[in-house]
Amino acid sequence: MQIDWINFTPWPSLTGGALIGIAAALLINFNGRIMGASNIVGGLFHSLSDAPWRLSFLAGLIAPAIVAAAINMPKPVFFGSTATLIVAGLLVGCGTRMGGGCTSGHGVCGMSRLSPRSIAATLIFMLAGFVTVFVVRHALAGAAS
């Protein structure tokens, strides 16, 4: 295994991670809610009865990106064709609802409260992610060349 030392950012990652963990700790204690992005959004498709807190949270989540864009911080660069993005978006939307969570809900909140479901889900989506990237970047790329 080769480490990508140029792009590896241990301190910003730890700091940003700590902020995400603090946010999760605050949301369960202030609002009694699990900070899972997919469930906060997905709940809107289930029932609109508690839409206001969900939309408040999502507005807060987007706000730093609006500021970052305004002060010309580096834009996120998406990979793949539009078709790939559509397929990936469909899979992420459907999979997170079916599996009941995503990186924040299962990966951060569920793992931190030692939920067996979340630990299983996190191991599986990580494994599926590793395999998918291997297939796309190495197996298919190797076969094409």
Partner 1 sequence: MKYTTAFAIGLIFGIGLLVSGMYHPAKVLGFLDLAGKWDPSLAFVMGGALPFSAIGFIIAHRRGKALFGEPLHLPPTKKIDPRLLIGATIFGVGWGLSGVCPGPAIFNLGFASGSALVFIAALGAGMAGYEMFDRATAKR
> C-beta of 105: minimal distance to partner 1 in Å?
9
Query: Cα(77)–Cα(66) distance, rounded to whole angstroms?
Result: 16
> C-beta of 19: minimal distance to partner 1 in Å?
3
> C-beta of 144: minimal distance to partner 1 in Å?
16
Q: Which is nearer to partner 1, 82 or 143 (CB)?
A: 82
Nearest to 119 by CA among 142, 99, 139: 99
DSSP code string of 26-80: HHHHHT-----HHHHHHHHHH-STTHHHHHHHHHHHHHHHHHHHHTTPPPP---S
Give yes or no for a contact between 42 and 98, defined as CB atoms under 8 angstroms apart.
no
Query: Cα(40)–Cα(91) distance, rounded to whole angstroms?
Result: 17
Q: Which is nearer to partner 1, 79 or 143 (CB)?
A: 79
> C-beta of 5: minimal distance to partner 1 in Å?
9
DSSP letter at 107 equals I
